[in-house]
Structure 1
Amino acid sequence: MTHFGPLHAQHVAPSKSLNQYAFDLYGELKDANENVFLSPLSTYYALLSAYEGSKNKTKAAFEKVLYLKDSAVSNYDDLYKQETNADSLFGLKISNAIWVDKKFQVETAFKNVVSSKYSSDFKQTNFANTALAVTDINRWVSDKTNQRITDMVNPSDINSETKLMISNAVYFKGEWRTKFEKLRTAQSTFFTDNENQYKVDFMNITENLNYFENESFQFITKPYKDSDLSFCVLLPKTLYGLEAIENNLNAEFFNEILEQTVSTKVWLSIPKIKLETSYKLKSALTNMGLNAVFNNEADFSGILKNEPLTIEQVAHKTYIDINEDYTEAAAATTTNVYIRGLPSFKTFIVDHPFVFFIVDNKTKAMVFMGRYVKPQEGEKIDKAYFARNLERREIRDSGWNSGKEPLLLVADGNELKEVKIDDVDFDNIDSLRVYTKKEDIERYTNEDYYHGIGVIVITPKKNKKIKKK
């Protein structure tokens, strides 16, 4: 059995309803061996906009799926502000629109509440002219996302009977408050599953981050520049333990993790992340309980009094690009090693499938969430090397916790000097090389370090000295 304690929340976050909806939607969209990236906040507001025009059983269905009965309406004030000010947050673009056919006269009250309360656009188009409707929607999305997201919908999403559609687009490119140094980027192995390993570029940094761990997982938050957003990673401690973690995720559990984090010095190593995803949410939302809005039972008389309406589709497209503006060839041949077992120092090596979030620090609203299981730009590793890579990983992880320290050598000019772990300045490392093969180790020492972790050769940054005790 997997254990996920101890976690004890002190209060319920205002965004509990949003975040619980987020985990429900994530559960419908995740696929065992595929990446996921979505914006719960953005889709939530798109559905809230439609909710404002719903009545009777349709309204009740929205309230159940969106957990609207679980929170007082006033709890969403800060979330409304997040949506309203989205364009002013660095790197973040959130755009929603309700599209209704031009031949209909929409209720004024609905138009007013959609634009003022939820910051969604109200747009009209001629759905009977499929090509024109597709052009209208795609142009609007492209304009809203600085041309980063195009082809939001295609002709198969629309037909002559379409009367109502929700479009939803998100673009995010976050600049870190503290950037990764490009010279510390290095290629390493990402272990997707038993059948797939990839060689990818890992970014590396040592900094104080909000951190939590228990026997099952590690969790960190890394803040973005000029915004209240932070990037969070939930990393299983076992190599392929993602499913066990996912099965326990819910809003209360996530809130408890956030409350338990403390500022800790962390060595973080994480792949560059670049994802673009596109979803049609009709099936997922139907499974969650919103089937009434997509069929003849739908009651949107708050939008049109005398014309039956159903939602044809909820389209959702996302794009994220997180990197450190590195030069690709800077440290391509460097092999990384990560130090474990130090009381004041944590290592966070994101080399296997994980869940990630982008969260509003003030409200705890889940702006984005996803799973990263398969690098999109990595080089697939031949199976002949799988066993060797797993052995190296095991040696690395057992490292200092095995009771056998490696031989640490630091370059000082043209010489290599032996140092202790406490003498290493981890903020002043240009490159690390770890040697575990006996023939390599014997180039540096005659002592038997082979059954420990081997020999580590550290090159400090240029013109800086070895840290002295």
Structure 2
Amino acid sequence: MMNYKPITILVIVLLAITNLGQLKAQNSELSMSFNQFSFDLYQEIKLEKGNVFLSPLSTYYALLSAYEGSENKTKAAFEKVLYLKDSASSNYDNLYKLESNSDSLFGLKISNAVWVDKRFQVEAAFKNAVSSKYSSDFKQTEFTNTEQAVSDINHWVADKTNQRITNMVSPSDINSETKLMISNAVYFKGEWLNKFEKRRTTESTFFTDNENQYKVDFMNITENLNYFENESFQFITKPYKDSDVSFCIMLPKELDGLETIENNLNADFFNEILEKTATKEVWLSIPKIKIETSYKLKSALTNMGLNTVFNNEADFSGILKNESLSIEQVAHKTYIDLNEDQTEATAATTTNVYITGLPSYKTFKADHPFVFFIVDNKTKAMVFMGRYTMPQNGKIIDKANFVDNLLKRNNKKLDWGGNDKILILIAEGKKLNRVDIQDVNFNDIDHLEVYKKEDVKKYTTEDYYGVVVITLKKNKKITK
């Protein structure tokens, strides 16, 4: 019986975000093929509970490195799962070398390394292919010296991820049979084109499900964004500065609508949404996000059709000619930090409110589970994707308040159509002056406070449904 030795593929991902660039949908076989792999992988990972965050691009790069050394049935399996025959190889060069597009993908860094035991010599054709297509580093270490090998690999990972991931591998990941490891690190740090103002960040309720609610910090901004909605969900893209990458959110309209959205995700569906987006003025309110995830992808990739690469049928003779290899495991580790500005702290002062009846504004408040994507605008390649269902740093709300919070959420939608029912007041110094809503430029609002019917008597003896007190930004005035 042949003794098959394992390859361990490590996929290391770090994402620290503060902002992105405007999405420009481009229809191409490349994006459709790659994104279908992305959604195939997501459909497997979504079965895990809680938050999800992964980099299909990072996983793809790692698998492509292994593909370069595969032969026969193993090669055919890679081509099917990675959709390599659905697009010309010349087009895939654009995907392979995303990391070289520094002008359009500012802040995105893709790093690859092939780790070879010092006892072995990798086939020249494999080494040349991986180096030329993926700019991969070739590193040698002593896998028989477990401590040294772990130190070498973890040092490389830490260096490529700005010290965010420092313990990618442990001694249990390496043994005397290990001959080769393939690692891939994707690091992105961006600055929003239009930053969230810290003083507008406010604590509000995130509705995880019917049994769990949390108090979390929400970032708030009004700006022009690419926007789409239908009867099931809203979709926005928010641009990063100096970059052709975009942050996208797909928000179900129902609190429990995430599963339906996830089940429909595929490349055609996503492409259609991108094509239908149009610029709208949007009031955007999203939670600050911090997610760390770690996956073993062997099971997911086996279900997708890569089963032969994990057993004794594997053929990686293009890597080591006289040694039998199989893939032992594919490890995937990710990190995302989504906030206003990483270097600045501030207090929350803004009141959240839904405003309807103003056709030039769309309200987008991500206060319940949603899916998100980070996309290269030019190729539409899915650099990162995930879902947010569970705040990691939120304060859980007592169940006694659940019903009241849901009622408050539903009642925050104010009917501006009948202005005689809502009293609009502008705070000018210590004075409150009545104004018509049509005279208010919402870009000039610093913050506003909403009072329901029971509080109207504090402001007037007349019969109003509610009161809104508006404070304008400094040096802004009502134009009549």
Distance 1:124 1:367, change over 3 A: same
Question: Given the alignment, which residue of 25, 45, 52 partners 2:68?
Answer: 52
SS at match of 2:228: strand
With 104-113 and 80-89 compared, the bigger mean Cα shift is at 80-89
Contact kept? 1:265, 1:344, Cα under 8 Å: yes
Could you say which residue in structure 1 is the equivalent of 2:387? 371
Could you say which residue in structure 2 is the equivalent of 1:330? 347
Contact kept? 2:126, 2:319, Cα under 8 Å: yes
Contact kept? 2:26, 2:380, Cα under 8 Å: no
Amino acid at match of 1:90: F
Question: Given the alignment, which residue of 451, 457, 461 partners 2:469?
Answer: 457
Question: Given the alignment, which residue of 222, 229, 246 partners 2:245?
Answer: 229
Q: Deviations over 1:60-88 (max 9, x none)?
A: 11111111122121221321231334699
Distance 1:275 1:281, change over 3 A: same
**Displacement, 1:318?**
1.8
- Is 1:14 aligned to 2:30, yes or no? yes
Amino acid at match of 1:442: K
**Partners of 2:288 and 2:153 in 1: CA distance:** 31
**Partners of 2:172 and 2:103 in 1: CA distance:** 31
Could you say which residue in structure 2 is the equivalent of 1:70? 86
**Displacement, 1:461?**
1.7
With 412-421 and 438-447 compared, the bigger mean Cα shift is at 438-447
SS at match of 1:253: helix
- Is 1:273 aligned to 2:289, yes or no? yes
Q: Deviations over 1:363-417 (max 9, x none)?
A: 1111111101111112111112111111111112364479985332221121122
**Displacement, 1:307?**
0.4
Contact kept? 2:207, 2:369, Cα under 8 Å: yes
Amino acid at match of 1:246: E
SS at match of 1:339: strand
Contact kept? 2:97, 2:134, Cα under 8 Å: no
Distance 1:108 1:428, change over 3 A: same
**Displacement, 1:448?**
4.5
Identity over the aligned pairs, expressed in percent? 76
Could you say which residue in structure 1 is the equivalent of 2:279? 263
Could you say which residue in structure 2 is the equivalent of 1:444? 459
- Structure 2's unaligned 5+ residue stretches are 1-24
**Partners of 1:157 and 1:377 in 2: CA distance:** 30
Amino acid at match of 1:125: T
Distance 1:32 1:235, change over 3 A: farther
SS at match of 2:166: coil
Amino acid at match of 1:460: L
- Counting only pairs closer than 5 Å after superposition, residues 303-318 of structure 1 correspond to structure 2 as 303-318=319-334
Could you say which residue in structure 1 is the equivalent of 2:425? 409
**Partners of 1:139 and 1:402 in 2: CA distance:** 64
Could you say which residue in structure 2 is the equivalent of 1:115? 131
SS at match of 2:177: coil
Amino acid at match of 1:458: I
Distance 1:405 1:157, change over 3 A: farther
Question: Given the alignment, which residue of 190, 212, 224 partners 1:174?
Answer: 190
**Displacement, 1:11?**
4.4
Distance 1:397 1:242, change over 3 A: farther
Could you say which residue in structure 1 is the equivalent of 2:309? 293
Contact kept? 1:268, 1:347, Cα under 8 Å: yes
- Is 1:254 aligned to 2:286, yes or no? no
Give the structure-1-normalised TM-score.
0.91
SS at match of 1:431: strand
With 357-366 and 414-423 compared, the bigger mean Cα shift is at 414-423
**Displacement, 1:276?**
2.1
Question: Given the alignment, which residue of 147, 150, 154 partners 2:170?
Answer: 154
Distance 1:42 1:405, change over 3 A: farther
Question: Given the alignment, which residue of 251, 261, 285 partners 1:245?
Answer: 261
Question: Given the alignment, which residue of 394, 397, 400 partners 2:410?
Answer: 394
Could you say which residue in structure 2 is the equivalent of 1:163? 179
- Counting only pairs closer than 5 Å after superposition, residues 135-154 of structure 1 correspond to structure 2 as 135-154=151-170
Contact kept? 1:37, 1:370, Cα under 8 Å: yes
Contact kept? 1:84, 1:119, Cα under 8 Å: no
SS at match of 2:384: strand
Could you say which residue in structure 2 is the equivalent of 1:385? 401
Distance 1:409 1:402, change over 3 A: closer
With 186-195 and 95-104 compared, the bigger mean Cα shift is at 95-104
Could you say which residue in structure 1 is the equivalent of 2:7? none
Q: Deviations over 1:339-363 (max 9, x none)?
A: 1232221111111111101111111
**Displacement, 1:30?**
1.8
**Displacement, 1:36?**
0.9
Q: Deviations over 1:209-228 (max 9, x none)?
A: 11111111111111101111
Contact kept? 2:97, 2:133, Cα under 8 Å: no
Contact kept? 1:270, 1:350, Cα under 8 Å: yes
Amino acid at match of 1:390: L
Distance 1:329 1:305, change over 3 A: closer
SS at match of 1:174: strand
Higher relative contact order (CA 8 A, sep 6+): 2
Distance 1:129 1:283, change over 3 A: farther
With 239-248 and 149-158 compared, the bigger mean Cα shift is at 149-158
Amino acid at match of 1:277: T
Distance 1:404 1:366, change over 3 A: farther
**Partners of 2:215 and 2:415 in 1: CA distance:** 22
Amino acid at match of 1:331: A
**Partners of 1:370 and 1:403 in 2: CA distance:** 41
Amino acid at match of 1:459: T
**Partners of 1:402 and 1:197 in 2: CA distance:** 33
Distance 1:449 1:242, change over 3 A: farther
- Counting only pairs closer than 5 Å after superposition, residues 334-345 of structure 1 correspond to structure 2 as 334-345=350-361
- Is 1:132 aligned to 2:144, yes or no? no
Q: Deviations over 1:424-452 (max 9, x none)?
A: 2222222222223x4323212344444xx
Contact kept? 2:99, 2:109, Cα under 8 Å: no
Give the structure-2-normalised TM-score.
0.89
Distance 1:124 1:286, change over 3 A: farther
Could you say which residue in structure 2 is the equivalent of 1:427? 443
